[in-house]
Structure 1
Amino acid sequence: MEANRDAAFQEHEQQNTTQSNDAETEPLLSHQTSSLSRVPQRPSKQLTTRNAFAVLVSIQIGSGIFASPAQVDSNVPSPGAALFVWVLGGLLSWAGAASFAELGAALPLNGGMQEYLRHVYGDTMAFLMAWIYIMAVKPSSMAIQSIVIAESIGSVTSADPLAAWKLKAIAILAFVAMVLLNSINTKITIKLSESFTVVKIMTVVLIVIGGLIAVIAHLIDPNSSLSGSRDWFTKDWFASRPSVSEGRTVDWTSISEWERFGHYSAAIYAGLWAYDGWDNANVVASEIRDPGRSLPKAIEAAMVVVLSSYELVNLAYYILLPWDMMSSNDAVAVAAARSLFGRPAGIIITILVAISCAGSITSNVFAVGRLTVAASQRHYLPGFLSQRGLPKRSAKHLAASPDRSDPSSSNSTNSEENTTPNSKFDAPIYAHILALVITLVYILTGSFRALLTFVGMAEWVFYVATVVGLIILRRREPDLHRPYQPVLVLPITFVVVGTLVIIRSAMFAPVQSGVLVGLLVVGALVSKFRR
């Protein structure tokens, strides 16, 4: 089976090569014959369906479910509306995940979205995606996760909020530790990811059990101290009440429909960021055994688990916490546990939340490392960033090296140096160092909510562009082998809703949208001059 797929891919590559000679629009799978090109080497297929499932669940159930509820609640008029936003975000993410599963099964190449954009639109679009993700999206996401770890720890170690510099110091230490752990080899990273996934699911289950205990306690004794906040059985879940967003009170009875849509867009972005990560299995598609079957299976199973978990956890939050606390607390999981069972429970949940966020950092480091390697192999970044682990070099190897004056020999040597790892250390070390430096800058300079909005807009611009590319490919390449193909209504719905949210959110957050536009312009200029 695998031999037949490889043969089919080689035939498809040859056909695409004869169809286009333009470097700008050259299809992804075409052969690179230029002496300046480095053909990306396929890594070993060591990931199973279970591994891909663990990566997806680990990266999605992280800081988002423990911090984003505040951002969602502050931009909707009622708890019922907030729960609806979480369902909508989950279904929209599921539609995107199904679309990406089709692309990952048809084009199982490391780099994920970068490679799909290159195949459909050409080199510049792929470069822009790699540029934005490596320089902004992934580092910002990891900065947010590190900040949530720090805020969770600060919420139980001190009665008063910790000073900003202390929170940033904790966030930096947590992030540096996770990068070091993930810079050993792939097997250790996968084991960490699977272990963190167990902790994440256990944390979700404990929070849901806490909400269930409160409901049962209320049914037995309405005056029980274990019955939660009391708001959940004394107030209307769908009645509008003022909320606090970006430091100002929102009166939902007097604002315009346009302003209301803007707030809902911000809420959806927060929910979508919590679900974010459904595309990350595609980044390592070529390392998954039988991706045509395993990738869609892993994505569907992960989305069922994550969507169910998020809805149940948010329901538990509204049972355990006073509703006026939801919009002002970025460590909502810790506050919920502490309100019901006291400080010891808060400490336990803090530890579990920190571990869960560490798991998301692990999966993000894993994904951004592979994305950086793929970008480097496409010459979007310096070649040394594609090096995995410690290169095997010796005096004998140097003596036998080809003449570097020969371009083809030089290319071969560079490829070997950058892709031949020490067997014990196969992680992309230099890619991890780059991610470390950029993320530290975001931790030092950014805030949770500003980074959250920026990440949402940046990601969804390329998510929508990629799914539009899927629709284009169905028409342009109908004979492309697609082991998995969802109904067309899913990608179309994803594109329409995603576009509306992007447009309104960009108008609602002009500073973040301006930064994104600036990065895109700089990226386009860099792409032009690098050629």
Structure 2
Amino acid sequence: MASTSGGVLRRSLGLIDGAALIVGITIGSGIFASPGRVVEQVGSVGMALAVWVVGGLLSLAGALCYAELGAALPVAGGEYAYLSRTLGRPLGFMFTWTQFFVMKTGSQAIISIVFASYLGSVLFGLDPRGAGVDGDWRIKAIAVATILLLTAVNCLGVRQGAVVQVVFTALKLLALAGIIAMGFAAFFQGGSSHFVDPFAGSIAAPSAFGLAMITCLWAYDGWNNLNYVSEELREPERNLPRAIVFGTLGVMAVYVLANVAYLSALTPAQMAGSRAVATNLAVQVIGPIGGVLVPIAVAISTFGSTNGSLITGARVFYAAARDGQFPRFFGYVSPRAVPAAALVAQGAWASMLVLPGDFGTLVDYFGFAAWLFYALAVVGLMILRAQAPDLPRPYKVRPYPLVPLVFLAASGFLIVNSLLTTPQSWFALGFMGLGLGVYFLFFRVPRVAVPTTSQP
């Protein structure tokens, strides 16, 4: 049985839709704000650019591994499906449990609040990064309305959600192109002097580079999301690897160019003291109007990120429910071939998470958990190579096993560093362990068969 309704997902997404999901989810608000923090942590122009390049290469290594997994197992659910297949259903359930109650829905709540805050800066004159702005009832109302609106749009059909994604991805790329153009104009008007001695003032401690990497990787997060909808992608054996690789490379190129632009218009000291570098650049180059245009650009960017996250997250919960590994009603597929129950439940819970003013702090506790699941999925890739050598693999990550091992080494460093330096990470680990208890109490025996294909 494919779902409680008897319906199935349809392969209606193409290469452009897939790339738009990767780019649209990954590029949120991070690139507009976090470059200043990276400069502050490493101290120089050269080291800051090195962080963004290394972060992009690490994300690309993970993306290549996920491209092989998605092409070999073109089913909905991403890590849920891969962990269940290679490391066992308990880990697959733990991933779904954590995604629904904190990670995915919490991320949606936070992104929608960021969208509402920047829109509020235009509508109400609020400081989008000011203390307490996310507690303003108007901001919360906009955030909840955004989640509910996009949930309704995606319930109409996967094509409707994909159109929103493509349009807003194009708009955010256009906005970033404008920011990059302003920066390069500053570069040719004297900003090139900032690059004469690029490593002057560098903080040599490895821990500084590691902290900057964590900041950078937060901005890169999202490269894994296309795997959640691979069951709805046409020719996934070809389009999924291409969209993942092209999308990740595209994001990396935009991020590096944006940082060159920022560093051309602003000194390292100006960047290090700023949490809104894009606004600072725009105001310096084009005047006060830049203080209006950049918040609009951030609002456009985060609106698209919220939409993409809603699309992909619902497929995780649907896939688990279809296998009897989550409440069964999440497996309902509407006549429009969308997991409508999963979309509605996800939107409702994400809206609830908007209400507490400090929920973002709780989600921060789970930052290391994302990299734990990424690492486990890549371990699953290596297990699958050994367990099923004859499984058709339209795409293979190369050089193997170098790329997976490099990714695992970097992931291991980030995981261990978080557990050692962030005590709250242990809270997240405990919550994940609680999920295992729920699994063995209620979901140990699957209620439905695991499907292997979907309707073309």
TM class by smaller structure: 0.7 to 0.9
Cα distance between partner residues in 2 of 1:324 and 1:167: 31
CA offsets, 1:246-281, max 9 Å, x none?
A: xxxxxx57xxx5xx42x4333212211211111111
1:481 equivalent to 2:389? Answer no
Which structure would you say has the larger RCO, counting Cα contacts within 8 Å and 6 or more residues apart?
A: 2
Counterpart amino acid of residue 290 in structure 2: A
Shift of 1:142: 2.1
Which residue in 2 is equivalent to 1:232? Answer: 194
Picking from 371, 379, 391, the partner of 1:460 is 371
CA contact 2:112–2:147 (8 Å) conserved in 1: no
Cα distance between partner residues in 2 of 1:443 and 1:50: 35
The 3 A distance-change label for structure 1 pair 43 and 503 is: same
Cα distance between partner residues in 1 of 2:312 and 2:225: 6
The 3 A distance-change label for structure 1 pair 92 and 422 is: same
Cα distance between partner residues in 2 of 1:53 and 1:81: 29
Which residue in 2 is equivalent to 1:45? Answer: 11
Which residue in 2 is equivalent to 1:492? Answer: 405
CA offsets, 1:497-528, max 9 Å, x none?
A: 111121112212222x1221121121111112
Shift of 1:377: 1.8
Picking from 105, 129, 132, the partner of 1:164 is 132
TM-score normalised by structure 2 residue count? 0.87
Picking from 152, 157, 176, the partner of 2:145 is 176
What are the residue-to-residue correspondences of 1:181-196 with 2, within 5 Å? 181-184=150-153, 185=156, 186-196=158-168
Picking from 350, 353, 375, the partner of 1:441 is 353
Which residue in 2 is equivalent to 1:200? Answer: 172
CA contact 2:121–2:127 (8 Å) conserved in 1: yes
CA contact 1:147–1:443 (8 Å) conserved in 2: no
Cα distance between partner residues in 1 of 2:128 and 2:232: 47
CA offsets, 1:323-366, max 9 Å, x none?
A: 33434443332232123222212211211110111100100011
Which residue in 1 is equivalent to 2:431? Answer: 519
Cα distance between partner residues in 1 of 2:397 and 2:241: 10
Structure 1 stretch displaced more, 56-65 or 148-157: 148-157
Counterpart amino acid of residue 47 in structure 1: L
Which residue in 1 is equivalent to 2:42? Answer: 76
Counterpart amino acid of residue 209 in structure 1: A
Shift of 1:446: 2.9
CA contact 1:111–1:370 (8 Å) conserved in 2: yes
CA contact 1:86–1:271 (8 Å) conserved in 2: yes
Which residue in 2 is equivalent to 1:109? Answer: 75
Counterpart amino acid of residue 232 in structure 1: H
Which structure is larger by alpha-carbon Rg, 1 or 2?
1
Cα distance between partner residues in 1 of 2:80 and 2:63: 16
The 3 A distance-change label for structure 1 pair 166 and 110 is: closer
Which residue in 2 is equivalent to 1:224? Answer: none
Which residue in 1 is equivalent to 2:64? Answer: 98
The 3 A distance-change label for structure 1 pair 454 and 68 is: farther
TM-score normalised by structure 1 residue count? 0.75
Q: Identity percentage over the alignment?
A: 34
Runs of 5+ in structure 2 lacking a partner?
Answer: 445-456
1:239 is paired with a residue whose SS is coil
The 3 A distance-change label for structure 1 pair 445 and 518 is: farther
Which residue in 1 is equivalent to 2:301? Answer: 356
Which residue in 2 is equivalent to 1:133? Answer: 99
Structure 1 stretch displaced more, 151-160 or 205-214: 151-160
1:209 equivalent to 2:181? Answer yes
Shift of 1:483: 0.5
Cα distance between partner residues in 1 of 2:173 and 2:97: 33
CA contact 1:211–1:320 (8 Å) conserved in 2: yes
CA offsets, 1:344-399, max 9 Å, x none?
A: 12211211110111100100011111112112223333222223xxxxxxxxxxxx
Counterpart amino acid of residue 199 in structure 1: L
Structure 1 stretch displaced more, 341-350 or 309-318: 341-350
Cα distance between partner residues in 1 of 2:132 and 2:381: 44
Cα distance between partner residues in 2 of 1:199 and 1:375: 34
The 3 A distance-change label for structure 1 pair 274 and 162 is: closer
Which residue in 2 is equivalent to 1:300? Answer: 245
CA contact 2:103–2:363 (8 Å) conserved in 1: no
Picking from 217, 225, 230, the partner of 1:285 is 230
What are the residue-to-residue correspondences of 1:316-335 with 2, within 5 Å? 316-335=261-280
CA RMSD in angstroms comes to: 2.8
What are the residue-to-residue correspondences of 1:253-268 with 2, within 5 Å? 257=205, 260-261=206-207, 263-268=208-213
The 3 A distance-change label for structure 1 pair 80 and 494 is: same
The 3 A distance-change label for structure 1 pair 481 and 355 is: same
